[in-house]
Structure 1
């Protein structure tokens, strides 16, 4: 295995939450006078922090969203996760292989810790990741800035050039490349902009069972 550390994004890479959370966001934004569908929301904002989304929307609206908009959205998300969150098919097997090879891995996400604990817990992945979670909430800037990936590498004791990032969003791919890391983009979701992800420097893959081979053969 050429990488000394593998950094996973969370939503859409470890847990199947992107469509769920973007549907909720779209409903709230539409109620606030910013009509948008779940798929449109996902395509435009996937990979960004909610604070960044709020800033973009407020600039386009020319006014502020309700002061409790972020709290409403997070509360609705957490409530929806209680119904159950599925792990991305095959991702547990990837982590099993990394464990067998002695390759450490962690999470570098735009989501807050409360959300990661909720989604990863529901999906049954939290026990193997709970001490290796890194969030943009601890960074000055969220993705596409490299801060969260650099934080993860530094905290895990590895140089950026020795890390591989697993992403599914353009801001995440840009963040990984800005950090000087190799990046692999999971493009199972039809909303993914494959051309943009590839142009940004990602190696694309459609199934998690393809990822070990890519990591093994990466140069």
Structure 2
């Protein structure tokens, strides 16, 4: 048995394959205001950030304020796409079924989005009562507050928990809270996590072996 007593999963890019979908919508909407972003540059710019931080980055890039409707337009369009195109990360369902310790999800997204995406991908029933959203506490990564809240609610200290993240922002937040954090690098196209996360892995079927030192 390994040292960890609880696993805290990020949602986007870790449980559900949402990064290309959500960042594609952000790029398309931002480009209507002159941002000149393609999908790859959007992922690099926005990955792991709250919508508020993404809007700030777009406004800095275009040199003007976005319309007040920008976020609601983004939510409406992206939610419709999520309902038909969202998929679970390959292998994550099997990992959840095999985990013998408690686990939960802690995400920068609003709970409505988390529940939608977990529901569409068939994962929601495994996270009922264990969903922690930054919107609930109005504090976003890289602040570690959402991870600390999740750990405390689950009944564990940070050194008993393992965080699974796919973004530099998320890894930074976990480390700031005193957590070990494994970086999921399947979509880490800029190699931001190697040397920053406690360990890295690029397929979910490797996670349990890393946790229990079977590599």
What's the TM-score, normalizing by structure 1?
Answer: 0.93
Question: Any gaps of 5 or more consecutive residues in structure 2?
Answer: none
Q: Where does residue 207 of structure 1 map in the other structure?
A: 203
Question: Could you tell me how far apart the structure 2 residues matched to 1:71 and 1:25 are?
Answer: 12
Which whole-Å deviations, capped at 9, do the CAs of 1:71-105 have from their partners, x for residues lacking one? 0001111110121421111111111111xx2x000
- Aligned-pair CA distance for 1:60: 3.5
> Deviation at 1:140?
3.8
2:183–2:197 Cα contact (<8 Å) kept: no
Partner of 2:61: 60
What is the correspondence of 1:1-219 to structure 2 with a 5 Å cutoff? 1-98=2-99, 101=100, 103-189=101-187, 191-194=188-191, 196-217=192-213
Q: Residue 143 of structure 1 aligns to a residue in which SS? A: coil
TM-score in terms of structure 2 length = 0.94
* Maintained 8 Å contact 2:7/2:104: yes
Once residues 62 and 46 of structure 1 are traced to their aligned partners in structure 2, the CA distance between those partners, rounded to angstroms, is 21
Q: Secondary structure at the match of 2:194?
A: helix
The two structures, once aligned, show a CA RMSD in angstroms of 1.4
Report if the CA contact (8 A) 1:28-1:73 is conserved: yes
Following the alignment from structure 1 to structure 2, what is the Cα–Cα distance between the partners of residues 10 and 63?
A: 31
CA distance in 2, matches of 1:199, 1:142: 23
